[in-house]
Amino acid sequence: MIRFLSRRLAYMALTLLLVSLVSFVIIQAAPGDYAEIFAAQKAATGAIITLADIEAMRIELGLDQPWYVQYGRWLAGALHGDFGYSWAWRRPVGEVIAERMPLTLTIAFATLIFMYAVSIPVGIYSAVRRYSFGDYAFSIAGYLGLAIPNFLLALVLLYISQQYFHQSVGGLFSPGYENAAWSWAKVQDLLAHLIVPVVVLGTSGTAFLTRAMRAAVLDELNKMYVLSARASGLSPMQLLLRYPVRMALNPIASTLGWRLTYVISGAPIVGYVLALPDTGPLFLNALLNQDMLLAGALIFIFCALTIIGTFVSDLLLVLLDPRIRLE
């Protein structure tokens, strides 16, 4: 167990290092830098900006140094929890992210719970009731869920809400609770506003997991050990839950890591459409403004969440299937 954990932690650290390096290089490869973007914004307001002013800003922000020097300085600070200073927000990166990360994690984990809570029972039902009306209905719904992009589904829900219910689903709070102190009423308002983002982000993943669960259960039901267990006198429900479902959960549990990646990667566009105050729009703005330290910190955190999700899925596989050993 200790050997397994040590090896996985070493792989996680190496992966985080490589991802941070690659993302830093990619962001640096874009033409221009923050100093030029800031100068263009000032010039648009009528201010007079000279080349000397732009160069002075580059020196002040450290943009005149080679990329590897900038990366080394950022990495040294990140190891101590200091992700640098956001040029666009004029605040420390840690403070900017800390304001939005709790809502991002709330949406992400609520979406994961929604996907697995819906897909597992529906997949089991579709496998047991194969070729029934319910199976066909869930199959059609699943194909539609896979085909419709997240942002398009968000736009459709926005239109339906405005057109037929005269209620906006944008944001995570009603206007009366947006700046109010936390209370039980504000928590209820947040949960009500979470429904649409969770459904939008989780529809495609739920459809995929439902099809995967159906196929896995069907594959297990056709194996010889199921016939032997049925002959031993087990009830259909005991037989289903004790053997086929347990074995079918293995490939589903292994998807936890990249399902979390899928949810986080789809959050920026959905966040823009639904006007969510999470890290999605923050990340897009950081890329557009070439705010490298903020964008790099967000990529670093997203990668860390993905690696942690993959690690948890490996542990779940060990718990679900005794044939799998940590060694």
In the prediction, which pLDDT does 168 show? 66
Second CATH level (architecture) for the domain 103-292: Orthogonal Bundle (1.10)
Interhelix angle 292-320/244-253, rounded to 10 degrees, is 160
Question: How far is 40 from 30, CA to CA, in rounded Å?
Answer: 16
148 DSSP 8-state letter: S
What is residue 323's predicted lDDT score, i.e. its pLDDT? 66
Q: Give the dihedral of Cα atoms 294, 55, 43, 289; nearest 10 deg.
A: -20
Q: What is the DSSP letter of 325?
A: -
Q: Report the Cα 188 to chain-centroid distance in Å.
A: 23
CA angle 206–208–213, rounded 5-degree value: 90
The full set of domain ranges for the chain reads 103-292
Give Cβ neighbours of residue 114 (< 8 Å, ≥ 6 apart). 198, 199, 202, 206
Rounded to 5 degrees, what are φ and ψ at 48? -95, 115
Q: What is the pLDDT along the chain (327 residues), one digit of tens a residue?
A: 677 777 878 888 888 888 888 888 877 777 777 777 777 777 777 777 777 877 887 787 777 788 888 888 888 888 888 888 887 888 888 889 998 888 888 888 889 999 999 999 999 999 988 889 999 999 999 899 889 888 888 888 888 877 877 666 667 777 777 777 778 888 888 888 888 888 888 998 899 999 999 999 898 888 888 777 777 777 778 778 777 888 888 888 878 777 877 787 777 778 878 878 888 888 888 888 778 788 888 888 888 888 888 888 777 777 776 666 544
Tokens of 116: 């697995």
Give the three-class secondary structure for 146. helix
Rounded to two decimals, what is the model's pTM?
A: 0.79
Alpha-carbon gap, residue 100 to 104, rounded angstroms: 6
What's the pLDDT score for residue 322?
Answer: 66
Cα 312 from Cα 162, distance rounded (Å):
40
Q: What confidence score (pLDDT) does residue 184 get? A: 84
